[in-house]
Structure 1
Amino acid sequence: MAQKKRIVIEDDNDKTPLEEPTIPPNPDDAADQPLDAADSPKALEEKLAAAEAEASENRDRMLRMAAELDNSKKRAARDLDDIKKYATENLIRQLLTVVDNLERAIASAAPDNENGQSLVDGVALTLAEIMKILEKHYVSPIQALGEPFDPAFHQAMCQEESTDQPPNTVVQEFQKGYLIHDRLLRPAMVVVSKAAQDGQTPEKTVNTNA
């Protein structure tokens, strides 16, 4: 007896559909697509201009910071130099009082007294040594007598009428002034001339504001 064959009928709907192969995009096709508004030439130019402006601003800021740093270094160097130059200013100012007393002692000594002359010579030598020390520390006296009055270096104690000096001239010095390097250590205390009135004896006017 012959065997029966089993026939299976496949339903097309039961078949799993085959996946279509993925085709990579063609770069040339992108050129055919319309540009986004953000990528338009005008937008790109605006972005470039903004980037250039920001770069310029950052460069200017960097230059300003560099200049400020350089100025700070220069100021610090000047301050340090001033400290070195004027560190002894207070000490020397006090020492000038000793110089004043020595000068007064020399000026008040009787020239005809032999013993007094020996004392004067000794004081003069002491004064000379002190002046050498001051000179080593860049201290120098201010020239005042016969010079035009300068409030930056002279302190007017009074005015005196004068016929042989032009007005506003230093005609007398009460106390010497000194400089340390180029800085005023103390002003010279002086008498300043003024024009004499016709037919009157020259007189001295005290400056009450001194």
Structure 2
Amino acid sequence: MEDNRMEETVDTLETEAVETEAPGVEDTRTREELLAEVARLGAEADDYKTRYLRAQADFDNFRRRSRQEKEEFAAYANTKIIEELLPVLDTFEMAMKSADNSDAKTLLTGIDMVYRQLQTALSNYGLSAIESVGQPFDPNVHEGVMQVESADHPAGTVVMEMRKGYKLKEKTIRPAMVQVSQ
């Protein structure tokens, strides 16, 4: 059956060669040469198809591996920060346990230690507080919730911070809730 297809292809090539020949130019290839040409082109097409299928399979494997790596990274991305926060948790637990046997000043000292450890751990990852009071109001880092009359501050200046705002590196992750002078 394959031989029949090759012969049909050769017949088609011969017919096309005769129809498309320029005047005065003859195709001098023999039937065997044309069959060999068809066989060569068929093998070349099979080779290209095989290469295409392999490339497609490689790409599918790459896409699957990339997705798995991304999912694994997302699942364990917080490991380092959690490891740094565990000592803060330990100190907090110690302060809570000592609350039963100590006075308020000792408990306050323990809570202060926890607060400082937590601030240090978070600042190691680029978290910083937004300084607001006395600064000009900036809607990119401040959330104005009230306007108040103030003789001490020019109009548009933050006079009171109601909730601290934070930046992670240069990106505002929570704007400071503030009162602004009129």
Instruction: Tell me if TM exceeds 0.5.
Output: no
Q: What TM-score comes out, normalization by structure 2 length? A: 0.44
Q: So what's the TM-score if we normalise by structure 1?
A: 0.38
**Greater per-residue helix proportion:** 2
